[in-house]
Amino acid sequence: MTPGTPYASLPGALRVLRFARERGWPLLATCGGFQHLLLEFAINAAGIADGEHGDYGVTGGTPVIVRVACPVPDRAPGAAALSGRIRVALRLPSQVFDMYGLARIDEEFACNWELNAAFRETLEKAGLRIAGFGEQGEVRATELPGHPFFVGVLFQPQLSSTASTPHPVIRAFCTAAQRFERPGRS
């Protein structure tokens, strides 16, 4: 799932995420995809049936994805609330930590939306592991323990990945995708 919201079909995006989550298909969600991963999990795994993403407008449901609470103070005019290279602390143990082998990373962001902090504990209790945090404890990376590869990051690893120097998250996703074997496939 890629950056860029709102998507043309919110229900379609949520179906793709649920399919990958429930059937064990490798999935990497970045930026807007990460936001939708959190929304899908909130709705279908954590019991927040009326969960909403603020970029689609609020219609009286539960605001799971909201505007970034603490925008980067020195961002360029017109830039996203979270823009530029921003520090992320990684949780040990986690798949994401293992991808880097570091406790702190600096990653490229271009985002206006994030998880409503009020729902962090609810998502964790439903089984989602928070693997990366902003400086005030904001959720920046997640994973699903026991799933072959179900990782979401609010940053955009694709911006700094190249063929000669693949980003650790991109490399880990490609490895998981290569190992993936669909049932019935020969």
Alpha carbons 116 and 49: distance in angstroms, whole number: 15
pLDDT value, residue 97:
98
pLDDT value, residue 1:
52
Residue 137, phi-psi category: left (phi > 0), alpha (psi -120 to 50), beta (remainder): left
Question: How high does pLDDT run on average in the chain?
Answer: 92
Peptide bond into 63 cis (omega under 30): no
Q: Is residue 53 part of a domain?
A: yes
Q: Is residue 2 part of a domain?
A: no
Q: Is residue 170 part of a domain?
A: yes
- How far is CA 65 from its chain centroid? 11
pLDDT value, residue 181:
74
- Give pLDDT < 70 ranges for the chain: 1-5, 7, 182-186
pLDDT value, residue 186:
44
Q: Is residue 4 part of a domain?
A: no
pLDDT value, residue 3:
56
Kindly report, residue by residue over 175-186, the tens digit of the pLDDT: 999 999 766 554
Q: Is residue 1 part of a domain?
A: no
Q: Is residue 105 part of a domain?
A: yes
pLDDT value, residue 105:
97
pTM: 0.93
- Dihedral sign for Cα atoms in the order 19, 21, 26, 32: positive
pLDDT value, residue 70:
87
Q: Is residue 65 part of a domain?
A: yes
CATH number at residue 155: 3.40.50.880
pLDDT value, residue 159:
87
* Residue range of the domain that includes 79: 10-178
Q: Which DSSP string do the residues of the chain spell out, in sequence order?
A: --S-SS-S-HHHHHHHHHHHHHHT--EEEETHHHHHHHHHHHHHTS--TTEEEGGG---SSEEEEEE-SS--TTPPTT--SEEEEEEEEEPSS-HHHHHHT-SEEEEEEEESEEE-GGGHHHHHHTTPEEEEE-TTS-EEEEE-TTSSSEEEESS-GGGT--SSS--HHHHHHHHHHHH---TT--
Number of domains in the chain: 1
Query: What number of other Cβ atoms are within 10 A of residue 29's Cβ?
Result: 25
